[in-house]
Amino acid sequence: MDLYSSYINRLIAELSVLPGIGNKTAQRLAFHMINMPKESVENIARAMVEARNNVKYCKCCYTLTDNEICPICANEARDHKTIMVIENTRDLNAYEKTGKYNGVYHVLHGAINPSMGIGPNEIRLKELISRLHDDVNEVIIATNSSIEGETTAMYISKLIKPTGVKVTRIASGVPVGGELEYIDEVTLSRALDARVEL
């Protein structure tokens, strides 16, 4: 038996499709939206439709943007000779928040994962290699520390090394505030390998 009207049920069903939104959260969001002023709900709906219709990939780095070239690639003050390779646009946002990186990016939109049918041709590797024809000094591989991320990093490294462009991999290790006893062996090993002199 349905507890709510078909409109409410449909709204809950549509919201629960979103990542990280379970049925209870979808219900809370649905009831919140129903109680919002009509104009606010229309603004949210319009923003979603306009974003979906107007956001595209940057022609250079393949991050999401509403221009042909994203603001980072268009910025002359950035170091265009250094490219950081990341898996998705969320990773770009995380690195930008640090304020420590002044180069440009290349978004792969995934990682090599044969078990899911994702090979090198399903991510933006050809586009990365074509960017190396410009004046590039270094490619920093900043894929995740997962098996897929490591596989992708090794594959990219083997592709790029013959070109003579320097290839580096971000260090990974013990998080600040992390308890050593709870950290896996691979992370501890990489932390030890990436140690620095004090």
Three-state secondary structure along the chain? CCCCCHHHHHHHHHHCCCCCCCHHHHHHHHHHHHHCCHHHHHHHHHHHHHHHHHCEECCCCCCEECCCCCHHHHCCCCEEEEEEEECCHHHHHHHHHHCCCCEEEEECCCCCEHHHCECHHHCCHHHHHHHCCCCCCEEEECCCCCHHHHHHHHHHHHHHHHHCCEEEECCCCCCCCCCHHHCCHHHHHHHHHCCCCC
Q: Average pLDDT, whole number, for the chain?
A: 88
Per-residue pLDDT of 64-76, as tens digits, reads: 999 999 999 999 9
Q: What is the pLDDT of residue 131?
A: 92
Q: What is the pLDDT of residue 198?
A: 46
Q: What is the pLDDT of residue 1?
A: 44
In the structure, what pLDDT confidence band is assigned to residue 178 with cuts at 50, 70 and 90? low
Per-residue pLDDT of 22-79, as tens digits, reads: 999 999 999 999 999 999 999 999 999 999 999 999 999 999 999 999 999 999 999 9
In the structure, what pLDDT confidence band is assigned to residue 189 with cuts at 50, 70 and 90? confident
Whether the predicted model's global pTM rises above the 0.85 cut? no
Pick the CATH number of 77-170 from 3.40.50.1820, 3.40.1360.10, 3.90.550.10, 3.65.10.10: 3.40.1360.10
Per-residue pLDDT of 77-123, as tens digits, reads: 999 999 999 999 988 988 888 888 899 999 999 999 988 889 888 99
Q: What is the pLDDT of residue 31?
A: 95
> Average pLDDT in the 122-134 region?
90
